[in-house]
Amino acid sequence: MAKRIDYDEWSKDELIKEITRIKGTTYGLVWHRDLPEEKIDVLINPDARTPSEMFPNEMAGKPFPVLKEAKAKAIQTDDAKPVNILIEGDNYHSLAVLNFTHQAAVDVIYIDPPYNTGNKDFIYNDEFVDSEDPYRHSKWLSFMEKRLKLARNLLKRTGVIFISIDDNEHAQLKMLCDEIFGEVNFVANFKWNRTAKAPSLSNTVRTKYEYVLCYRKEEPLMLFGKKSYNTQAPLLHLPNKPVEIIFPPKSIELPKEFAPGKYSEKYKVELIDYIIVENGLNKNQFRIKGCFAWSQIKINRYIKSGKRFLVKRDLSTIYYFMETEGSFIPPSDLISDEECGVKRNTEAKEETKDLGINFDHAKPVSLIKYLIRSATYDKKETLILDFFAGSGTAGQAVLELNTEDGGMRNFILCTNNRDEKSEHKIASDICYPRVKKVISGYKNQKGERIDGFGGNLRYYVTDFVEAGPSDKNKRKLVNESTEMLCIKEAAFNLVKESEDFKIFKNADKHLGIIFHEDAIDDYKKAIKKIDGHFNTYVFSMTDDPHTIAFADIKQKVTLCAIPEVILKVYREVFKHD
């Protein structure tokens, strides 16, 4: 039974604030939050601050988060591919940094937060929250609210967020998301068929499904499901002598029932086998035996003209169609293997086991791939964020998608370095090794060599600097801002450095960081010798990036004052702390 609140000890102002808050919510989510800190012993910490999470705005002199690169963990296999990011640390700190580096830049967010089952899956104030805690839901909601508010800032106007959840917090999460993202931006409540056979342990209902809540940021969102095609003249089966027809790779779409050896007695059609093409692409040709009205020559002519073929589920007819003539059918709210090829939890365990990763609560790669595809079907240069990254499933999903369609998607993964259910250091011992293996290749549990997907990764750890409004602290923040600025500008290749400035390059521009205003002249001399434009961050005690000093080369530079450009974001992020 929940502990009663003793309002007799509250001041008049505290009571007025509480009454105003409750009355201001006509229909929505109300829980124990925003209460004075001296009431913590009665309720809970109002801001869900764990000891590693306590930093108000800079006027209070508490630390602000920055990033430090673990250079030894960098992976680079292809300069032409995008750089992916893995951040080790509390995801609240990581999201604060990303509010500076990636505000309104993310296309898709997928998260799999703790489900708050009461079974050691959710830590609050360094203690597990058990099922008997009277403020169990309030603690979880406070924890999630802070993170989802920061996450919303990161989405593009066209962005979308997917959140995995189960019955323990599903209802509360739906109302919290209605509040943060807006009820009008609710897209779907997907049901994921997580198990083929429901556990028989329950004496009430055996649960086979979990949920994936989906919200858009602002713009109308069309999720893409299956493609419909305008089928044309069928290749009718005639009572002729059966012949074999070969369909080249990707020229025919077969129902799952049409496996090798499948035979239709009624229509006298048989899929004989798959033929592996010996060209290193691991694509399949299909040989189908049946009575066709068309010859192999005619079928080849249609394939050459761009048409593809479709086999009906009952094996009765083969149609030809033009892929470009079709339209998309919105996805079903049921995510299953049968409906859309998404695997179940048992497959997820096998995926991590095959990688030599001991992690029991991952999601299957196919689920994340399906969600990303549904939100960004025709976009192959998108940014995907997972700030409850766990074992790094989302990273593998992005790398696989890029390999499948030649995309240039990149990901940001954020996870702390502790696993609530084991002694693993989850960022360094689970997530990073998994991503490294799928990028560079590995040997599976059978000893077979599995080729990597290729790609690049940079590994960062959250750190902190003092945030008091002194000149000394401002210089500290600037001196520790290099990694954040490199991430913001996607510029990682060091071109030139001196004691007081650094120059980096990305694909199409340069990044310049001037740590001391006295180095401006030396920096200008350096960039005059280099072709290209320079996004230049200049130390300044004010919000003026010494514009006058750059008047003679103003066409060559875009100026920003640091640390003010960073502090402006942090003041907004931590204004309620």
Domain membership flag for residue 208: no
Mean pLDDT over each residue of the chain, to the nearest integer: 80
Q: Residue 304 CA to chain centroid, in angstroms? A: 39
Give yes or no: residues 64 and 180 share one domain. Answer: yes
At residue 487, does pLDDT exceed 80?
yes
**What tens digit of pLDDT does each residue of 427-481 get?**
999 999 999 999 999 988 888 898 999 999 999 999 998 877 788 889 999 999 9
Whether the bond into 563 is cis, omega within 30 of 0: yes
Q: Are 430 and 354 in a shared domain?
A: yes
Q: With respect to residue 519, please indicate whether it lies within any of the assigned structural domains.
A: yes
What percent of the chain is modeled with pLDDT above 70?
73
Contacts of 256 (CB under 8 A, 6+ apart): none
- pLDDT tens digits for range 304-335: 766 666 665 555 555 554 444 456 778 889 99
Same domain, 486 and 568: yes
How long, in residues, is the chain? 577
At a CB cut-off of 8 Å and minimum separation 6, what does 401 contact? 369, 372, 373, 407, 409
We report the CATH number of the domain holding residue 399 as 3.40.50
311 located within any domain: yes
- DSSP letter for each residue of 70-98: -GGG-EES-TTSPEEEEEES-HHHHHHHH
| 106 lies in some domain | yes
pLDDT tens track for 276-311? 334 333 345 666 666 666 677 777 777 776 666 666
| pLDDT range class, residue 569, cuts 50, 70, 90 | very high
Euclidean distance between CA atoms 330 and 520, whole angstroms:
55
- Is 293 part of any domain? yes
pLDDT digits (tens, 9 = 90+) for 59-118: 344 578 999 999 999 999 988 889 999 999 999 999 999 999 999 999 999 999 999 888
Q: Which domain holds residue 259?
A: 231-318
Same domain for 358 and 298 = no
> In this model, does residue 490 exceed pLDDT 80?
yes
Whether 479 and 453 share a structural domain: no
Residue 202 domain flag? no
Same domain, 539 and 479: yes
Residue 124 covered by a domain: yes
Give the whole-angstrom CA distance, residue 31 versus residue 2. Answer: 13
Higher pLDDT, 344 or 279: 344
Question: Per the domain annotation, does 327 fall within a domain?
Answer: no
Do both 359 and 404 map to the same domain? yes
Considering its fold, how many domains does the chain have in total? 3
Q: Which of 426, 459, 492 is the last residue of a domain?
A: 459
